[in-house]
Structure 1
């Protein structure tokens, strides 16, 4: 499914929706990856006894989680507006095609 392809929200499965949202909003994907990396770094620091490193990684994890949340909210608002515009354009196109058919 390409980014230009219109999707049907009613027939879209949960997995398809998650994949589409990750494709649409690259910042969320990056935030999730960075959060996981920071958590793994913190885990490594705890296991090896490097307390200061672990503390830095835990703090970085919180920052990355905040970034991810902000990207989710901002991206959600942006793509919601984009989808509304796409639906409106499709509806206007459908109406125009119907009017052309009636005028022929």
Structure 2
């Protein structure tokens, strides 16, 4: 997330949060897209009677779901750490400004 973007966790709606998280973590978006594509491919294979293809697609779907969950967890930890650092920096800036105003 770039420093010029601001969001308020307390007033942010669920849909806004999902949109923000998908923009922040592009790997999760890719994983979701690949999972959907594999599911559609498996559905196509089942409807056309191509069992082997459908089986490969179902297995790929499971793999992509695992990839997506790993990306969610990894990205969540990364962005949580990043947000904590940003909050700490903002708090230090606020304290420095307050000290500066007291000294004036």
The TM-score, its normalising length taken from structure 2, stands at: 0.96
Shift of 1:76: 0.3
Quote the residue 2:85 is aligned against. Answer: 85
Distance 1:16 1:99 in 2: 36
In structure 2, what is the Cα distance between the partners aligned to 1:58 and 1:8?
39
Q: List, as ranges, runs of 4+ consecutive aligned residues in structure 1 with deviation greater than 4 Å.
A: none
RMSD: 1.0
The answer for the alignment partner of 1:67 in structure 2 is: 67
Measure the CA separation in 2 of the matches of 1:59 and 1:80: 32
Aligned residue in 1 for 2:48: 48
Q: TM-score, normalised by structure 1?
A: 0.96
Which secondary structure does the structure 1 equivalent of 2:10 belong to?
coil
Number of equivalences? 103
Structure 2 residue runs of 5 or longer lacking an equivalent are none
What SS is found at the alignment partner of 2:66?
Answer: helix
Q: What pairs up with 1:1-104 in 2 under 5 angstroms?
A: 3-4=2-3, 5-104=5-104
2-structure distance, mates of 1:34, 1:3: 26
Deviation at 1:3, TM superposition (A): 3.3
Check whether the contact 1:45–1:54 (CA below 8 A) recurs between aligned residues.
yes
Unaligned ranges ≥5, structure 1: none
Is the Cα contact below 8 Å between 1:42 and 1:54 reproduced in 2? yes
Deviations 1:61-80 (A, max 9, x none): 00000000000000000000
Rounded to whole Å, the distance in 2 between the matches of 1:49 and 1:3 is 48
